[in-house]
Amino acid sequence: MRKPDTIERLYLDFDGFFASVEQQAKPALRGRPVGVVPFDSTTHTCVIACSKEAKRKGVKNIMPVQEAKRVCPDLVLVPQSPDLYRRAHNALLSEISSVIPIDAIKSIDELTCRLEGNDHQHPFELSARIKERLAHNIGPHITCSIGFAANRQLAKIACKIKKPDGVTVWHPQDMPRPLLDLPFDDIPGVGKRMEKRLCRAGIPDMRALMKTQPKQMRNLWGNVTGERLWYALHGYDVQALPGERRMFGHGRVLPPGYRTLEHAHTCSRLLLIKAARRLRRSGFYAGRLWLWLSMRKSGWHGNNSLPIVRDDQACLSGLEELWEQARAQLPARSSVIRLGVTLLDLSPATSRQLDLFLNDDDDRKKWEILTDATDRLNAKYGKTAVSLGPWTPPPGGYAGGKISYTRIPKAEDFW
């Protein structure tokens, strides 16, 4: 495995992305502590994201609204605008790629680049060019922090060091000194459970972790991830393994006043249709469907098999079967706070395996033709002009198009 002798990676992380996009788009919010929330006019939710002004006053992401208001009484609560964040993401990427090619988009607010030419000799100048272009062409209220290192993992850690709006450069000859005093939660891949496991193994801090061996790390993690992390922390050029698509799904927190079983059923239909659209756009069929419901002190989930399908009719038929089970097992007045649907057991459209005991291929083809025609009409008009059954999004909208950190929404997700 190759060990670079110079910095080769840039990692960029936007500061308080959702809140800063709101501030850039809405001048009245600039300079004020802002908290982005799922819904308007409710205190029984949490702050999804907060601005740097709010963070300086002690507000944190995923903090209950009531606690955030106690910490920061002048906190301005703003309901989420997922499509705005999607458009901002695309605009920002366009500006960055005009300065340096983007190697990988890691989330809606994080990306990584490989350094080219003489960029590794002038990281601060490169950072200045990126920041100046974003400020001039997008706006000065969306800032970013940038880290440089020999590999992506180290660059990701480095970019968190001087947030917000900072630049950190870790040259190979300086390592591992900058890592030694960091807490475990600054290291991607070391969560609370793993931290406890490391402590039980006699590894209480980063200094001790850096003295371990690759195979010891593999044993502690129980798989090759630990060994890969060891090589990354020691400056080797560790390449990420390509991800494999395993499911398509959507979840939704229901607003107060919309938490009945009937409303949850209506919302689940919309979420499933949105998931099925993504399934078709990506060229897959599904063989299993999950439905899960979360109440305050309990929950319900169920799943059933599907006959290797991709059309709305088959997916919705499977959903109705699960709802029959849910209604039979749950009290009629159950209050559903959150729900989700997931299409699993995926197979590529080019290798569909039919069920030998279910002779419904002719009907399936008819429903697929109808579903494809529906997709084309919706794409033509840029909205859900045609749907199988009623199309009534819950209050607040964004069924299937909510804030997403790891998946970058498409314009179609907001139809």
Residue 273 CA to residue 384 CA, distance in Å, equals 11
Nearest to 18 by CA among 403, 398, 414, 399: 403
The total of other beta-carbon atoms located within 10 Å of residue 289's CB is: 28
Reduced to 3 states (helix: H, G, I; strand: E, B; else coil), residue 244 is: coil
Considering 8, 22, 53, 110, which one is annotated as catalytic?
A: 110
17 touches 109 (CB < 8 A): yes
Side chain identity, residue 402: K
Side chain identity, residue 143: T
Residues of 153-184 as b/e, b for ≥16 C-beta within 10 angstroms? bbbbbbbbeebbebbbbbebeebbebbeebeb
Q: Which two tokens stand for residue 172?
A: 């190979």
Beta pairing class for 34-37 and 49-50: antiparallel
The helix (H) or strand (E) run that includes residue 374 is helix 361-381
Residue 206 CA to residue 215 CA, distance in Å, equals 17
- Using CA atoms, how far residue 314 sits from 192, 292, 318, 364, 396, in Å, is 41, 19, 6, 8, 28
Question: In the annotation, is 110 catalytic?
Answer: yes
Residue 9 CA to residue 89 CA, distance in Å, equals 21
The residues that are catalytic are: 110
